[in-house]
Amino acid sequence: MDNGSKTDIQEKIAEIVQMQGRYVEVLQSVGRLMEQNQESAMCLDVLGQVSEFLAYVYEVKKQYYGRPLDWAEEYAFALVKDSYKDIAGEQFAAVSKRLRECANYIQKSREELEEILQVGTYNADLGKMQFKEGANPQEFANRDEMVQAIEENSMNPLEQFFFCGKHNKMTKWCHYFEVYHRHFKRFRNKPVTILEIGVWGGGSLQMWKDYFGAECKIIGIDIMEECRNYEEERIKIYIGSQEDREFLRKVKDENPNIDIIIDDGGHTMNQQIATFEELYPHLAEDGVYLCEDLMTSYWQKYGGGYKKPGTFIEYSKNFIDALNARYSLSPDLKIDRLTASIRSVHYYDSMIVLEKGVHKPAMVL
């Protein structure tokens, strides 16, 4: 599949959206039949078609949209695979449930693609970055054209490093850089310690080193032993699980002063909660705690689900109550260490930022 033109991708996405609507209806109908132990042959035929269709969507997104396998397609693929096993085992009730779940994921993907058609495929959230004069997002044929059309002078230092600098591998959502700069810029060119969980290709650690300046110290945590290769001057790598509280305590013991904590690790609910509970109290009095990729709080694969107890999103909603605990008349909401230390809570798309500081009782003058 070649890059094609802007018209090509609009036509392909419009075609996908139309086909998705049909597959949603078919999967729901076959799901009802399978609930009555009927039409296994038809079900197998539909599953084969769905598999081919999902593979087609995969290729379109890979070539044009920049995300080769989106979460909705990933779950749909898994459900199709499990449905084959259930049919072989004559677990027809399970098949019925999976087909309807698969329809739900395809519908969610459809809603996303409908939005893309409406606002423009490459009209993404770029924060405060601007396109060069004369550039039109509606005419970009691929993601590379979009990046090349960004006005370099509109980039903050993090964006300039990411798009224009030389560094190891890293991947970020475009709107993250604006959030980083908003909350981190007051620490630049100061003797600060930055801890990031999730090293991967090592590029983000280099970005922090460049951004915060010559006096900063960077700490990286990852579970993969090969990440030690990304150690360099002023960058220290620890190998261990962020879910291992004893390991985190060792990191704290060896690093008594941490000013910024960035959780970009495994993104499971247990990992995010354990990391916050162990590391937030260790954060400097005026430090910043940032947890990203909170979309996993809605994904089953990571232990998430909409309003599911125990997700990091649901857990973090308690921060709002803690911040305002002084005003509650309920005995169930007490002033605690979070009340005394959280200055502010900021929610962004897939991110939360807590700014720490001495939080004294308010006064009316």
Q: Which of 237, 291, 283, 229 is nearest to 258 (CA)?
A: 283
Residues 290 and 251: beta-carbon distance below 8 Å:
no
Residues 184 and 211: beta-carbon distance below 8 Å:
yes
Residues 297 and 349: beta-carbon distance below 8 Å:
no
Alpha-helical (H) ranges within the chain are: 6-35, 40-60, 71-88, 92-119, 143-148, 157-164, 176-184, 203-212, 245-254, 269-279, 312-323, 337-341
- What is the biggest distance separating any 2 CA atoms in the chain, rounded to whole angstroms? 76
Q: CA–CA separation, 268 vs 261, rounded Å?
A: 17
From the list 167, 267, 282, 346, the catalytic residue is 267
181 catalytic residue (yes or no): no
Q: Which residues participate in catalysis according to the annotation?
A: 267
